[in-house]
């Protein structure tokens, strides 16, 4: 029990780590490229986005934070590959943005909304960097349309291997979230006081029996989902191979019949006789 440590990239563990204010401040300063001293206050908000209409999708955010009373931040971790992730994160940010305003209020009440996506899969194929940041810019002159929406994407599989010396603050945090062994956590905690605070929080929640049971249930759910997706892909591939083989056999039989029909035609046999022998339609033979 004393050696057990949760994996920070399991969303349950990440939420509990972000409950520590110092860890939260350090993580946000690294991702948003801010001086920690500029982050005066961070407050965890209700992670359920309200439904305006009954048929609206209900958004559930991993960690939703109000920073300095002028910026709302949605931080999510996704372990399973999801090709529509960009659309999903845009949906959540748009919902965060629009739910800030009530009827009769002016638009100046709207706060900046930021999405931080921590992905355990590759979203941008062919792009080598593990971190990307997006804003709404003009297409050719690249000036900012508005700063009220911002997207940060961390792709964990692209993290560079090797020592932590020379790593940026953001890279250290990404390595911490991706870490699984005590030796990794110890090394990263030595490099950054905010990560050290996150590590201490991780140690505390890892020794809590109730939290451990919740964590393991969540980890099992993720594992079962991934296994289900894998088995579905395997079934799809198997059906595809079987269908391909069937179509191949049918095509081979068709070509064989046509070849026999051509040979019979060259011998001067009638189209009707060839049809009876091969099954190739009379009109096709005549053509």
Tell me the pLDDT tens digit for each residue of 123-166. Answer: 999 999 999 999 999 999 999 999 999 999 999 999 998 888 88
Counting residues of the chain whose pLDDT is more than 90, the rounded percentage is: 55
Are the CB atoms for 64 and 74 separated by under 8 Å? yes
In the structure encoding, which two tokens stand for residue 110, read together? 């709207």
| pLDDT tens per residue, range 189-231 | 999 999 999 999 999 999 999 988 888 888 887 777 777 767 7
DSSP string, 42-99: EEEPP-BPPPSSTTSPPPB-SEEEEETTTEEEEEEEE-S--TTHHHHHHHHHHHHHHT
For position 126, what pLDDT does the model report?
Answer: 93
Residue 137: its H or E element: strand 131-137
Among 55-64, 107-116, 155-164, 169-178, which is the least confidently predicted range? 55-64
Q: Are strands 42-44 and 71-78 parallel, antiparallel or unpaired?
A: unpaired
Q: Where are the domains of the chain?
A: 11-207
Predicted TM-score of the model (pTM): 0.75
* pLDDT for residue 1 is more than 50: no
| pLDDT tens per residue, range 17-70 | 999 999 999 999 999 999 999 999 999 887 665 555 555 555 555 788 999 989
Give the residue with greater pLDDT, 259 vs 112. Answer: 112
In the structure encoding, which two tokens stand for residue 185, read together? 């956590």
Cβ neighbours around 162 below 10 Å, total: 8
Q: How far apart are the first and last CA of the chain?
A: 80
d(CA 33, CA 25): 11
């Amino acid at each position: 029990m004393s050696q057990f440590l949760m994996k920070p990239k399991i969303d349950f563990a990440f939420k509990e780590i972000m409950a520590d204010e110092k860890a939260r401040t350090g993580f946000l300063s690294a991702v948003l490229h801010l001086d920690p001293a500029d982050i005066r206050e961070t407050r965890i908000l209700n992670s359920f986005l309200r439904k305006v209409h009954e048929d609206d999708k209900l958004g559930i955010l991993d960690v939703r934070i109000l920073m300095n009373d002028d910026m709302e931040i949605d931080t999510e971790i996704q372990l399973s590959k999801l090709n529509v992730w960009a659309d999903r994160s845009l949906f959540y940010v748009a919902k965060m943005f629009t739910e800030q305003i009530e009827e009769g209020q002016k638009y100046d009440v709207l706060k900046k909304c930021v999405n931080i996506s921590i992905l355990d899969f590759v979203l941008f194929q062919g792009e080598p960097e593990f971190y990307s940041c997006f804003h709404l810019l003009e297409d050719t002159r690249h000036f900012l349309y508005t700063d009220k929406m911002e997207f940060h994407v961390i792709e964990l599989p692209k993290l560079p291997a090797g020592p932590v010396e020379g790593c940026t603050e953001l890279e250290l945090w990404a390595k911490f979230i991706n870490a699984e062994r005590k030796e990794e956590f110890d090394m990263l905690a030595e490099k950054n006081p905010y990560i050290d605070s996150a590590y201490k929080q991780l140690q505390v929640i890892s020794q809590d029996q109730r939290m451990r049971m919740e964590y393991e249930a969540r980890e099992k759910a993720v594992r079962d989902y991934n296994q289900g997706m894998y088995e579905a892909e395997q079934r799809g591939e198997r059906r595809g191979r079987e269908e391909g083989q069937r179509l191949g056999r049918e095509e081979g039989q068709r070509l064989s019949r046509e070849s026999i029909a051509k040979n019979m035609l060259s011998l001067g046999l009638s189209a009707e006789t060839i049809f009876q022998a091969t099954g190739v339609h009379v009109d096709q033979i005549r053509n």
